[in-house]
């Protein structure tokens, strides 16, 4: 299976909202409500932020939200904070996106 498609970079100022897209096919993103999102800071292991498209694990701030339309899933980070600067990866059915580097300006 091919990797899911994410934009290589995204940015926003503190307090703003930013949305990262993740495009797959009807065999993965579009066919199942099984999309997850991971945050990875440099030198650290990935951390689960969203699962099953829009569910947040305990401890993840509600500033992070997920959605899906057709073959494209999205992660929205509202009220950007400096600590949100990281790489973000989507995944569906064991296929990862290429990652998006989020910069907080």
Partner 1 sequence: QVQLVQSGAEVKKPGASVKVSCKASGYTFTSYGISWVRQAPGQGLEWMGWISAYNGNTNYAQKLQGRVTMTTDTSTSTAYMELRSLRSDDTAVYYCARELADWAFDYWGQGTLVTVSS
Member of 95, 102, 103, 105 binding partner 1 (CB under 8 A) = 95
Cα distance between residue 91 and residue 26, in whole Å: 14
Give the count of residues interacting with partner 1 (CB under 8 A): 21
Residue among 16 and 26 whose Cβ is closer to partner 1 = 26
Per CB under 8 A, the list member of 14, 26, 98, 103 interacting with partner 1 is 98
- What phi, psi does 81 have (nearest 5°)? -125, 160
Tell whether residue 103 is a contact of partner 1 (CB under 8 A): no
Show contacts with partner 1 in window 52-71 (CB under 8 A): 52, 57
The owner of tokens 């494209």 is: 72
DSSP state of 55: B
What is each CA distance from 14 to 36, 64, 88, 101, in whole angstroms?
Answer: 24, 14, 17, 16
* Residue among 3 and 10 whose Cβ is closer to partner 1: 3
Verify binding: residue 88, partner 1, rule CB under 8 A. no
């Amino acid at each position: 299976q091919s990797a899911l498609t994410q934009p290589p970079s995204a940015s926003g100022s503190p307090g703003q909202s930013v949305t990262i897209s993740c495009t797959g096919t009807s065999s993965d993103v579009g066919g199942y409500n099984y999309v997850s999102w991971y945050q990875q800071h440099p030198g650290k292991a990935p951390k689960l932020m969203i699962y099953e498209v829009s569910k947040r694990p305990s401890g993840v701030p509600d500033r992070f939200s997920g959605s899906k339309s057709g073959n494209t899933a999205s992660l929205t980070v509202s009220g950007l904070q400096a600590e949100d600067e990281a790489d973000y990866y989507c995944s569906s059915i064991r296929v990862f996106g290429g990652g998006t580097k989020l910069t907080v300006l």
